[in-house]
Amino acid sequence: MIQKNDELEVEIVDNGFEGEGIAKVDDFVIFIPEAIAGEKVKIKIVKVNKKIAYGKLLGVLKSSEIRVVPDCETYSKCGGCNLRHIDYQASLEMKKNAVKNTLRKALKRDVAINDMMAMENPCYYRNKLQYPVGVNENGELVMGVYASRSHRIVPTTDCKIQNQDCQKVAQDCFAFMKAHSISGYNEANGTGLVRHIIVRIGVKTDEIMVIFVLNSWDLPYQEEFIKTIITQNPKVKTIVKNLNNKNTNVILGRENQTIYGDGFIYDYLGDKKFKISPLSFYQVNPIQTVKLYQRAVEYAELTGEETIFDLYCGVGTIGIFASNKAKQIYGIETIENAIKDARENAKINNIQNAEFFVGDVENVLPQFLEERKIKPDVVFLDPPRRGCDRTAVQTLLEITPKRIVYISCNPASLARDLSLFEEKYEIQKISLCDMFPGTGHIESVVKLEVKGE
Ligand SMILES: C[S@@+](CC[C@H](N)C(=O)[O-])C[C@H]1O[C@@H](n2cnc3c(N)ncnc32)[C@H](O)[C@@H]1O
């Protein structure tokens, strides 16, 4: 019987979805972060549930050949990455196998993965940095990343996934705060001023936006602060204050004040231009996003004559990306502001053949079909992690568009939805895109063709 604080030597028999090692002892399945299949390791049990336990890696007794020395000093403390102890190519193989296994379980057969779109340089890819600012146990100002499953801030100076220009801007802001005794937020009692420093970059335009998330509007030395940051970082095009004085884990409040520049920046995905405002969603790895969208458009086999539904469209990026090759695009998305951005993005790109609708796909889609009597030829489906709503799948099965291109950030919900679509569709191709190197996440693109066509 396994108990908390037991120290054991175990063989790692598999890797789980987040890259964690899996061992089996006395009917218990033990999950051990940073352990790799094939290794023998020494662990300490930190948590025990009924038949599941969690271990902490104490030492590697027999090492896997895919183990590497993590390139990040804060790796074992930070909650961000979880695959930096594995060779990049091997981590891709691990993700591919994890997707294959998940699909096999749901579809009861093996399905081939046609391609894995890797990153040439899997570092510094994120275009949006959000560092919490606070106080440490000695009452000193800190900025960095949250430790795994906690709100303790681990100071960080070289995060391997954040854009390096953004990191420099954040460090310069932090240095100014320190030099001028500007306080960080104390979660314990709700005092202190700066809660987060957010830095976003348009990697194609080289425009940077800085957002100070504050506990009150009053930022001391504001003019000097602005001057220092823009002088040290000429790419900074706008600086915004955001008010968040609530006791909440949500990072951004609703109100913004632009204190320098226009309050937004632009970026390009392919040849399409997108506006990025403080609250607007934008894919965080633009290099891989372009590859993902290109593959989605390729799978859609567009001739220019198709009516396309872009379901779960966010700020309209996929539809806008595909708009040159389509007759008409209709996007549906639940967040009203995202639809505002989608409409504006269409305008910026002078796109006349895209319309966007606010609401839940499961409600808006049947209404739209009923009112407009339009049937799509191709559907892009890009749902959140939980996958598609059952009603939405049912509606699509009823109207049976010729082709569905399903983009998914969660293999488990993808597998479940594909098993439903298989009633009328053939899974023709699957590509994976490594949008978040160093982490266990993986994006899939699936081409579904109606059977018998
Ligand atoms: C994975 S994101 C895709 C965004 C966009 N397609 C892109 O590539 O950036 C999923 C989107 O679905 C939206 N969403 C979640 N549930 C929804 C629902 N029931 N109906 C419509 N949109 C929904 C979310 O707000 C989010 O913007």
Mean pLDDT of 231-258: 96
Task: Specify whether the CB–CB gap between 450 and 425 falls below 8 A.
Answer: yes
Nearest CA to ligand 1 atom 1: 384
pLDDT value of position 204: 97
Residue 283 CB less than 6 A away from ligand 1: yes
Beta carbon of 380 within 6 Å of any ligand 1 atom: no
> Do 99-119+285-450 and 128-276 fold alike per CATH?
no
Model confidence over 163-217: pLDDT tens digits?
999 999 999 999 999 999 999 999 989 999 999 999 999 999 999 999 999 999 9
From ligand 1's centre to the CA of 385, what distance in Å?
9
State the residue for tokens 């799509």.
Answer: 376
Is 433 a catalytic site residue? no
Cα(311) to ligand 1 centroid in Å equals 8
Burial class (CB in 10 A: 0-12, 13-18, 19+), 250: exposed
> Residue 390 corresponds to which tokens in the numbers above?
């059952």
383 CA → ligand 1 middle, Å? 5
- Ligand 1 centroid from CA 440, angstroms: 21
Closest CA to 430 of 313, 329, 292, 307: 292
Q: Which residues pair with 444 in a beta bridge?
A: 408, 432
Atom of ligand 1 nearest to the CA of 335: 25
Tell me, using a 6 A CB cutoff, whether residue 334 lines ligand 1: yes
- Reference 318, options 258, 378, 253; nearest CA is 378
Q: How far apart are CA 370 and CA 400, in angstroms?
A: 15
- Out of 81, 173, 313, 409, pick the active-site residue: 409
Run of H or E residues at 308 = strand 307-311
Q: Is 386 exposed, middle or buried (0-12, 13-18, 19+ CB in 10 A)?
A: exposed
Mean pLDDT, rounded, of the chain: 95
Task: Name residues whose C-beta falls within 8 Å of residue 93's C-beta, 6 or more positions apart in sequence.
Answer: none
Identify the CATH assignment for 99-119+285-450 out of 3.10.20.30, 3.40.50.2300, 3.40.50.150, 3.65.10.10. Answer: 3.40.50.150
Q: Per this entry, what is the length of the chain?
A: 453
Q: How far, CA to CA in Å, does 322 sit from each of 85, 272, 395, 445?
A: 38, 10, 23, 15
* Closest approach atom of ligand 1 to CA 338: 27
Closest ligand 1 atom to Cα of 310: 6
Q: Which atom of ligand 1 is nearest to the CA of 360?
A: 20
Q: Is the CB of 338 under 6 A from ligand 1?
A: yes
**pLDDT digits 0-9 by tens, 37-72:** 999 999 999 999 989 999 999 999 999 999 999 999
- The model's pLDDT over 337-350, given as tens digits with 9 standing for 90+, comes to 899 999 999 999 99
Fold of 128-276: OB fold (Dihydrolipoamide Acetyltransferase, E2P) (2.40.50)
Domain boundaries along the sequence of the chain: 7-67, 99-119+285-450, 128-276
CATH class of 7-67: mainly beta
Considering only CA atoms, which of 424, 357, 364 is closest in space to residue 392? 364
- Calculate how far, in angstroms, residue 154's C-alpha sits from the geometric centre of ligand 1: 31
User: What are the pLDDT digits (tens) for 66-114?
Assistant: 999 999 999 988 888 999 999 999 999 999 999 999 999 999 999 999 9
Residue 354 Cβ contacting ligand 1 at under 6 Å = no
The structure tokens 């040439």 sit at 120
